[in-house]
Structure 1
Amino acid sequence: MASSSDGMFTRRALGRLGLAAIAAPAVLTSARAQQKFTCRIAHTEGIGTPITLGFEKWTGILKERSGGRIDAQHFPAAQLGGLAQALEGSRIGTIQVTTAGPDSEEAIAPEIAAFGGAPGFIYKDEAHVDRVLQGPLGQEVSDIARKKTGVEFVAYGETGFRHILSKRPVNSLESLKGLKIRVPELRIWVDFWKTLGANPTPLPYSEQYSALSTGVIDGLDSDYFSILGFKWHEQAKEVTPTAHWFLPKAVRVNARWLDSLPADLRDMVRASAKEVFAEQRATNRANADKALADLEKVGCKVNRISEAERAKWAEMTAPLFDQFGSKSPETKAMIEKIRKLA
């Protein structure tokens, strides 16, 4: 027969085990709350541009509001590789965040590419852009991206409307004819410029300066901030404000990494991204005219095209909507949804 002291020992031991079992989830929760999560933010946007400054601000906010639990590290201007490497890294999780136009998903999810401005002249103005990106359609596209590419679009920044930078003046279709213009390595961009009579030359983003300097290309299309940030104006001095393509910049977060965060950090990442890049969009728009003036100050000449001429460009490229929409029923439907919000 067990002694009374044996019974007391057994009861005490069981009591301690019970308390330990109760305490275990709390210990695990506490440990998880203190766990650190590395967040590498890598992209190809230029130093000093509004979108890069937005990412710089967001990096600090992620560190501060997480109480140091998120170790956010910012690598702009292709420091960790070009656009293709950044996109692939964000999909497989070797980097946690990047940014790019939704048009970069042409091969995987062409309906997202339409959302990113393809095939040109789809967005009428900035108010149209906001109705598309900041409404239910923006969330729908993020859901598609998560399912098909493994990244979540937690917010939308922008570089704004794109314009032409060239070595010779461009102010009409005739002057555009044969221009060797750099394009992303995407079919829709090649088709767009071929339709207008130019000679599109697909090149990685990082090669544009050297390609201008060696004559591989005669020009490129970009926003004013990037032209200044990457100093492409040192190799080409003619600027034509065409506003032919508006490029949103999705803030792309690896979905597995995001899902690995505690709920409070997930919510903070999403909310702070929307906050920062709403401010970035406002800054971008408020300073676009100043950026053009800054280009003039460094020796660029601004060539204007008439509204009638621009309308002619839009009319010529309009058939590309049907061509691009034929990629899938989803792509056709997305184009229709965007145009209805104009």
Structure 2
Amino acid sequence: MGLCRLLLLPIIAATINSAAAAEITIRFPIEYAADIAPGVANREFKELVEQQTNGRVEVKLFPSGSLYKGLDLVQAILRGDAEMSTLTSAYWTALSPKLSVFELPYAFPERSAFYRAIDDAGFMESAYSDVEQKGAKIIAVLPYDHFGFATRTKALRAPRDMAGLKMRGLGRTNSAILSSLGASPVSLNLVELSPALQQGVIDGLNAPIDIMLAYKWYESVKHITYAPAYLGFYPWMANAKWWSGLPPDLRKIIQETAIEVALRHRARSEAETDKAIEALRRHGVDVHVQTSEERGAWAEATSSVWKQAEPQIGAELIARVRAYSK
């Protein structure tokens, strides 16, 4: 009997450690795959948080929309059915239209302008105040990349080239941009895009460059125009009630880790974009980077979106966004 007890000690210890690890569990669904740039950041966050809390916090990642996706994921965060997520910003505009300020065409033609905006705590607090009142807390920002306009059959060089195309639209403002260029926006979740491209449901889409590589959209897409019309990012959101109820020491570790990972991710996302452009070209895709002259023409063609959005965003937030690019 003594020997049996001795042999059972490691099992008992493992059980105790497992119980300790389950003190706080963060259910962390994401809509994208875990092996693209933001997914790598999420995995890094999981590893660091679990290490730095000595197993008191466990992070369970659910990639590729396997638990929730799109607006269902927004509602899951608000209900507390998921504690945390990095979901593309466009979905959060359903709760607060003024968040469309981040999606205005050519608002952040350089990444540095976007970084100045998200590093301005006062600006971010003002932009996300409505969302927080509805039950979600922003704790960091995971930037991604300027979107590329990708099509199956047609190169896009001038604004008029978009006319008549069925393009995946991502939220109200992004769809307004497409409409201002003469395209017809089609609302689809990320996981629906591959079959939609293959079956011709859409003629194209706008998305970060490395996603096009990761999801092998180069098998359907033949032309990409890389343009700074919209810089995609993932607000790092948590259920507000759960967040405020965390032990202060754990909340501090989780937030500091999210910020650290997000800052480190900036260089990674830029590097992944450069690599993806070259890889897509090797797959035979025509990847065109907009010239400054072309940017000006496209910005002018989409300028009406700024005027349309001002009543829901507010003149003050719009003025602050313009200032970051000066």
Q: Which TM class, normalised by the smaller chain length?
A: 0.7 to 0.9
Instruction: Please state if 1:100 is matched with 2:124.
Output: no
2:72: which partner in 1?
A: 85
Provide Cα deviations, 1:133-188, integer angstroms capped at 9, x if missing partner.
0122454147515533311111111221001111122222232211111112x222
What CA RMSD, in Å, does the superposition of the two structures yield over aligned residues? 1.9
Q: Secondary structure at the match of 2:167?
A: strand
Q: Secondary structure at the match of 2:156?
A: coil
Provide Cα deviations, 1:260-312, integer angstroms capped at 9, x if missing partner.
21110011111010001111112111331111101112221223544323211
Gaps of 5+ in 1: 1-32
> 2: distance between equivalents of 1:101 and 1:137?
21
Alignment of 1:21-100 (within 5 A): 36-100=23-87
Q: Which amino acid aligns with 1:74?
A: L
Alignment of 1:1-342 (within 5 A): 36-114=23-101, 117-141=102-126, 144=129, 147-168=132-153, 169-184=155-170, 186-327=171-312, 331-342=314-325
Compared CA separation, residues 49 and 147, structure 1 to 2 (3 A)? same
> 1:158, 1:247 within 8 Å by CA — same for their partners in 2?
yes
**Structure 1 residue 132: Cα displacement:** 0.4
**Structure 1 residue 216: Cα displacement:** 0.6
Q: Secondary structure at the match of 2:235?
A: strand
Q: Which amino acid aligns with 1:283?
A: R
> 2:99, 2:128 within 8 Å by CA — same for their partners in 1?
no
> 1: distance between equivalents of 2:184 and 2:169?
10
**Structure 1 residue 333: Cα displacement:** 1.8
Q: Which amino acid aligns with 1:208?
A: L
Provide Cα deviations, 1:231-254, integer angstroms capped at 9, x if missing partner.
222221211112211122111111
Compared CA separation, residues 272 and 305, structure 1 to 2 (3 A)? closer
TM-score in terms of structure 1 length: 0.84
> 2: distance between equivalents of 1:306 and 1:146?
36
TM-score in terms of structure 2 length: 0.88
- Structure 1 runs of 4+ aligned residues shifted over 4 Å read none
User: Does 303-312 or 261-270 show the bigger shift?
Assistant: 303-312
**Structure 1 residue 338: Cα displacement:** 1.1
Gaps of 5+ in 2: 1-19
